[in-house]
Amino acid sequence: MKRIGMLTSGGDCQALNAAMRGVVKTLLNSSETVEIYGFLDGYKGLIYDKRQMLTGKDFSGILTKGGTILGTSRTPFKTIQDPDENGLNKVEAMKQNYYKLQLDCLVILGGNGTHKTANLLRQEGLNIITLPKTIDNDLWGTDMTFGFQSAVDIATDAIDYIHTTAASHGRVFIVEVMGHKVGWLTLNAGMAGGADIILIPEIPYDINKVVDKIEERDKKGSRFTIIAVAEGAISKEDAKLSKKELKKKMEKNPHPSVSYEVAAAIQKKTGREVRVTVPGHMQRGGSPCPYDRVFASRLGAEAGKLILDGQFGFMVGYKNREVVRVPLEDVAGKLKAISPDASIVQEAKLLGISFGN
Ligand code: F6P
């Protein structure tokens, strides 16, 4: 008999359901009897014991369904050890609820913040297995996270749509892609959509270099320019500021996001018409793409196998095209960012893409 708890935490993404289905199918296909408890709305469900007992039926027909059948929420790691508004010790509450149900293991699906709390629970003695979800693809220890490829498809579609209208009007168009800390999504969607300029947090931009590229295209007779800008793209000047100085500067910033700031600067320097499109949370929505369905199912199956083997304290990841088990303590608190020297960046440059640096 195995008693499993499961929760999804942080921003949702495509293929969370496919991954959970993979875990449960693997367990149900074994000779073990299994009891599954789904905690609702992320760690909140575990803290306040909001849960549902689930059966195989609950996981049937969800392979293609976006979002998460368990609901999710953000429970920031930096305040997880602070008491809640009623003085409740959240970490102790999670442990008590785990022990009350006599769980053999807790399967946690999440991104960076989620993994920090998962590792804390492991340190506190709980049996934890995690699965790497996020459209940002920024989890250390895995080459890929599920949700990423589906989001690349959506962001690419957005750039494709913009291409035709940009060409007709001869405008500069900015498409803002999700990713505050890293630019994986922007870089991949930008390359897939044929963007001329890609601005990502890892490579601070110089607005004059951005303008140079637009003017170079003008001279060659290209009437339009497509710029893919990550939410977290940052100028060279801003990158030199301390966190505190930047926060202060941002408080006075009249622009709703970096894309509008870049647009205003280009408009001022060139007199060109610039438009901004923000696909926003659409990038996390809808059905997982076929790649993510297969990928999340594979990771889920491996998580199920880990449970059957009694192996805990791992994130199931993906390295060099193989599904791997990565110790949680190695994953927690580390960000997987793009190195400016990465081959994909160099190849993009060979294609003539400017990073504005
Ligand atoms: O989950 C990752 C992510 O989609 C980031 O790409 C984005 O910056 C952020 O979440 C948005 O967060 P929220 O859904 O809380 O607005």
Residue 307 CA to ligand 1 centre (angstroms): 30
- Does residue 232's CB lie within 6 angstroms of at least one atom of ligand 1? no
**Closest ligand 1 atom to the C-alpha of 13?**
1
Contact (Cβ atoms closer than 8 angstroms) between residue 211 and residue 203: no
Name all domains of the chain by residue range, CATH numbers in brackets.
2-147+288-331 (3.40.50.450), 150-284 (3.40.50.460)
**Closest ligand 1 atom to the C-alpha of 11?**
1
Q: What is the pTM of this model?
A: 0.97
- Does residue 180's CB lie within 6 angstroms of at least one atom of ligand 1? yes
**Closest ligand 1 atom to the C-alpha of 74?**
15
Count of CA atoms in the C-beta half-sphere (13 A) of 302: 19
Residue 48 CA to ligand 1 centre (angstroms): 24
What CA–CA distance (Å, rounded) separates 104 from 162?
A: 50
pLDDT given for residue 355 in this prediction? 98
Residues serving a catalytic function are 136
Cα–Cα separations (whole angstroms), residue 288 to 38, 146, 180, 233: 21, 9, 22, 26
Residue 123 CA to ligand 1 centre (angstroms): 27
Rg (CA), the chain: 22
Kindly state the tokens that stand for 336.
Answer: 């997987």
What CA–CA distance (Å, rounded) separates 133 from 89?
A: 27
**Closest ligand 1 atom to the C-alpha of 178?**
6
Nearest of 320, 28, 288 to residue 133 by alpha carbon: 288
Which residue's CA is the closest to the ligand 1 atom numbered 10? 11
pLDDT given for residue 247 in this prediction? 93
Count of CA atoms in the C-beta half-sphere (13 A) of 315: 31
pLDDT given for residue 27 in this prediction? 97
Residue 65 CA to ligand 1 centre (angstroms): 19
Q: What are phi and psi of 32, to 5 degrees?
A: -75, 145
Residues 6+ apart with CB under 8 A from 58: 38, 52, 69
- Does residue 178's CB lie within 6 angstroms of at least one atom of ligand 1? yes
Residues lower than pLDDT 50 in the chain:
none
pLDDT given for residue 278 in this prediction? 98
- Does residue 12's CB lie within 6 angstroms of at least one atom of ligand 1? no
Residues 6+ apart with CB under 8 A from 242: none
Identify which of 115, 138, 178, 283 to mutate to test ligand 1's pocket (most ligand atoms within 8 A of the CB): 178
- Does residue 103's CB lie within 6 angstroms of at least one atom of ligand 1? no
- Does residue 110's CB lie within 6 angstroms of at least one atom of ligand 1? no
Residue 10 CA to ligand 1 centre (angstroms): 9
Q: What is the pLDDT of residues 152-187, one digit of tens each?
A: 999 999 999 999 999 999 999 999 999 999 999 999
Contact (Cβ atoms closer than 8 angstroms) between residue 228 and residue 354: no
